[in-house]
Structure formats: C-alpha cells, structure tokens
Amino acid sequence: MKNTLLTLSLIFPFLLSSQQILLENERARVVDEILEERFNTLLPQLMDKTDIDMWVLISREYNEDPVLRTMLPAKWLNARRRTILVFYQNKKKNTIDKLAVARYNVGKSIKSAWDKEKEPNQWKRLIQLIEERNPKKIGLNFSEDYNIADGLDKTDYDAFMQNLPKKYHNKVISAEQLAVRWIETRTEREMVIYNQLVDITHDIIAEAFSEKVITPGITTTTEVEWWMRQKVTDLGLETWFHPTVDVQRTSEELVGHLYSFSGRPDDMVILPGDLLHCDFGITYLRLNTDCQELAYVLKPEEKEAPGFLVNGLKDGNRVQDFLTKNMIKGKTGNQILAKSLSEAKATGLKPAIYTHPLGSYGHSAGTTIGMWDSQGGVMKDDGENYPLNPNTVYAIELNTTITIPEWKRDIRIMLEEAGFFGEDGFRYVNGRQTELLLIPRVKDHQGN
C-alpha cells in the first residue's frame, strides 16, 4: 500500500496530497468486499421491506440489466452468455439463497446452480429451482416508472413466461421497488468511500479553476473541459458525462435554461471579470459524483470578487438550505419540491430545483425532486409518488436567478453538491461551496 501511494503521489502530486487513488487490483478487492456486504446484509433487509421472497434477474452479454450490472464481481466487466441470478429468502429458516443459473459462480456469494451436462436447457433448470422453493412472489425487473428497474428485455421475459408453469403466472410481479431500493441504498462503508470521491471531485475542480490551467485572455472554456476530462483519465478514473464549462459576463444576456445543459458556444475565451461555472463528475469504485461550482476571474486591480457575486452565491446557499431542511423521510419528491420552492420564493428568491438521486449511476433511481423543465413536479413515469428513504444520496442541484444592476442583467447562480439523507437527517457528503473560487488565487506581497 505504501508503494502504491508513493508511486501515484510522484505522478499526481496535486491531487494525491488529499486522497489516495487505488490501483486496479486494490479497487477490485474493495468493490468485491462491498458487494458481499450488500448481498449478505442489505439484500435480505430490502427483500423483507418490499415483501418479495424471490427475485429473478436475467441478462445477456453486452445487454445487461442496469441492476444486474451492479451485482457483477469486479473481474466481470459484463454478463456472460445468458446470466440468470436467483435470490430466494426463506423467512422461516432465516436464509437467503443466492444462485446463478449460469455455467460459472458469479463472485463469492452467488453460486452456480446449473450443471449443463445434467440439464442442457437453462430455462428448465431455472424452473426446477423455482419449483423446489415454491415462492409466494416472483419479482422480475420490469417497470413503467423507472428505467433502471426495467432491465428485463422482451425476449427474455417472453421466454421466461413461456417456460414458467401457469400455476406460477399469478405470482409474477414487478420488482420495481426492490430494484430501486437496491440501487439507491448506501451502506456505511460506501459512505466513507463517497466522502473520498467527492473530495477528489472538488480537488479537480479547484485545480481546473486556477491559474494552473486558466490564463485569462488565452484559455478557452473548451480547453478547460478537455483538461478536466484528461485529468480524470490520467488519474485512472472515469467520468459518466463530458464536463462542461460556461461563462456569464456583463456583456451577455441571460439565455434560456437549456443553455446550461446544451447549446453553449465552444471555445469561449475566458476573460477577467467572468463568472465561470462547471458541471463535472467522476466514477470510482462503482459510485458517481456530480458537482457544479463557480469561479470568478479577477481583474488586474481586484483582490476579491465583487460583492454582488459574493452575495449571489449566498443566495444560492439559501436555496440549498430551503431544500435540504424539507428533505423529510417518507415525503415524495413533489412534496419536497413544492414546499421548498414556496418557502424560498416567499423570501424574494427566484429558485429552480432539479435534484436527482446519485449513487450507482449518475442519474440514479429514487426520489426525484423536480426537473429543470418540470418545476411544478414530475409526472408518474419519473416517480412522482416515490418517498424519500434513508441511507440515500442526492445531487443537490438547483439555481437562483439574481439581478445585477452593475451588469444590467440577470444571471443564474447554479450549484450542485452530493448530499446524504440518513436516519438523522441530511448532511453534505463532503461540504459545499460557500466561497467563490478565484482565478488567480490571491497572494500576499511575499507570494504566499
């Protein structure tokens, strides 16, 4: 471990002063250890809560169910051939079977339950396992409301139902709730790791929004985006979306909200007096981050950002506070959204809230608290009635529009930070931005 840290710190001295990034074999060990804990501790709890005693997941190679993908061991980059997983909980015996109707064990916990020489037909073997256990309910991953819980393709669904004896057909139900709970729920160890992920994300943004990367009058927004992308690659990490960097300045008009996500001009030269905004996230140890922060490019005579921008960031933090104090167990995303917007507007703020679940996927499954184009609440197919559950993570994503007389225009203060909702309420995973990043960093007369 010491050699790992020494080697990487020589290559990446800026970032690894705060967090160690593991080598691939060490990552695999951690991923598999967490997976075993989730199978042995979390899964039985979730099957109890959703009242499903048998869960069947079916995928073929390169067309993986999003839930099954999160269950594969570190050495499995994809399913193999047709991979069928069966989880059966016997409440009387207080046991849970973790079986693979496949030619191989799937990691340590999921044992192969198919000898092709004894039974050549994979579907027949699956039916034998079902009949031996006679479950009360058979959960399959099909869902109208959640794409991540809708991973069973039509071909495999049809084949399953054709092979399943008719006496079991009325036991087949959607495993939507179980699938979503599996995806959204984080363990204590995962949250320890999550803090490290967000810290790495903050470090990369801090370096990107500094004189190490940006030379005003020369560097473009596109160059900063690709620098961030390359930094992720150089660190041996991944990102689940291409970073974006945009500019708000005195000579520009406030454009539509879609501008923040698409349609920005490329290669804008960054100038003194610009307010920079980025949207950036990484993937590491099967978890994802999503972060938006702001930086101000100092003019030659300036030592700090203008007061109206400092106060604008404070307004953005106030909107965050209205949202996070209304994140209450059992409340739906629409309920949280409506109350938060109402309270923020009552104080004179002009907020928009579009907070999404975060975790196994960047746009993950769980409680959706608004969308940028659905400020009246989300519809049924976006999970309008799904409650806020504990031990879940969210991208606290939002903005507030502020008027700047000095610039003779409105701007948006756009922020996004990872937040954890637990039994004791809400907390940020690794803090939040409360001060603008300054480019260049201000030094005293001694150069410190």
Mean pLDDT per segment of 10 residues, for the chain of length 448 residues? 39 52 92 94 95 95 90 80 92 89 85 86 94 96 92 94 96 96 97 96 97 97 97 95 95 62 75 97 96 97 96 98 97 94 97 95 91 78 76 97 94 97 96 97 60
Check residue 380 and give its pLDDT.
59
Question: What does DSSP say about strands 95-101 and 111-112: parallel, antiparallel, or unpaired?
Answer: parallel
Check residue 4 and give its pLDDT.
41
Alpha-carbon span 349 to 278, nearest angstrom: 22
Query: Which residues are registered as beta bridge partners of 97?
Result: 88
Check residue 3 and give its pLDDT.
42
Residues 6+ apart with CB under 8 A from 344: 318, 319, 322, 351, 400
Question: What does DSSP say about strands 437-439 and 291-297: parallel, antiparallel, or unpaired?
Answer: parallel
Question: What does DSSP say about strands 82-90 and 95-101: parallel, antiparallel, or unpaired?
Answer: antiparallel
Alpha-carbon span 218 to 56, nearest angstrom: 56
Check residue 256 and give its pLDDT.
59
pTM (2 d.p.)? 0.90
Check residue 113 and give its pLDDT.
84
Q: Which amino acid is at 350?
A: K
Alpha-carbon span 322 to 324, nearest angstrom: 6
Check residue 261 and give its pLDDT.
55
